[in-house]
A and B are shown apart, each in its own frame.
Chain A
Amino acid sequence: MSTSGTCGMFTFGGKAKEKIPFGKKEAQAVMDELSTADDADIITLGSPQLGINELKLLAKLTETKKFSRRCIIFCSRTIYNNAMKIGLAGKIEKSGVDFRCDSCTCLTPYVTKDRYNAVITNSVKGAYYLSKSNKLRVALKDIKSIAEEYTQ
């Protein structure tokens, strides 16, 4: 939402100066609009950066499995260090994932038009900027679908 507006913070429920109706139908329309590819050679997760609960989910979904293509997780150094301490980062790395800390999916030179034509991501914000700024086609999917489709 902050990508299409100029407001950096939104609240759900309670009193608000302006209300924006947004349900499953609107969410699906955004997903459809931003999905310009069915498949790609690289997966990026994060943007906003992944949190500890998303890492726990990913670890569960990829246990004993390997990604079939390159997968980069973007998360903060603090989250990564916490994930290391509890053995979570190691578990996920066993599935072939690379971590990039304190970096932006769209502004780092990892995912560029020179290297890839398309990217698979779970990030709506990432999909918008990877498409508009980086000129890549995007397969926008949720983490569960990505883990199911691209690990074996």
Chain B
Amino acid sequence: MIISNCRKIVGGTGEGQTLVTIQPINFLATVDANTGTITDPLHELYCKSLKGSVLVLPYAIGSSVGAYAIYSLKEYGNAPHAVVCSKADITTASGCALANIPVVDLPNGIPLSSLKQELNARVEADARRIVVGFS
């Protein structure tokens, strides 16, 4: 499956398995940069690692310091390889720009739920598309 006409937020290409959540993420408060895992028991990705994934989320919430938390994830080698948002926010955009992680928004009308868990995916931000489900 190819999802075209995405909105490019941060350029580049990143590949990994999809890690999908419909819940926003507070990168400062609920992600452990040392392990790359979500630490909030109330989050549906609790104990899941962002490392090497194509992280699919609606947007980030909380402190703008979350941008540095994303950069910390990269420094510790635990960052996602790419990020897909329904509507990227300033924290995700700036953090991923700092960390050189490609980011796209899904096109209007394409819900997050159209992407299933643990599928191979490649975000080609400059081409404004996501390639999903290849082997």
What residues of chain A lie closer than 8 Å to B65, measured between beta carbons?
104, 107
B28 with A129: CB separation less than 8 A: yes
* A5 CB–B CB distance under 8 Å: yes
Interface size class of A (residues with CB under 8 A): 10 to 19
B1-54 at interface with A (beta carbon < 8 Å): 24, 26, 28-30, 39-40
* B71 CB–A CB distance under 8 Å: no
- Picked from B61, B64, B91, the residue with its CB within 8 Å of the CB of A4 is B61
- Picked from B30, B39, B62, the residue with its CB within 8 Å of the CB of A2 is B62
- Picked from A5, A6, A8, A133, the residue with its CB within 8 Å of the CB of B28 is A133
Main secondary structure of the interface of A (DSSP, over half): loop
Smallest CB separation, A142 vs chain B (Å): 22
* B101 CB–A CB distance under 8 Å: no
The answer for the CA separation of A128 and B30 in the assembled complex, in Å, is 11
A3 with B30: CB separation less than 8 A: no
Residues of B within 8 A of A (CB): 24, 26, 28-30, 39-40, 59-65, 89, 91
24 sample A-B contacts, Cβ–Cβ < 8 Å, listed by A number: A2-B62, A3-B26, A3-B29, A3-B61, A3-B62, A4-B61, A4-B62, A5-B61, A6-B24, A6-B60, A6-B61, A6-B62, A6-B89, A6-B91, A8-B64, A104-B65, A107-B65, A128-B29, A129-B28, A129-B63, A132-B26, A132-B29, A132-B30, A132-B40
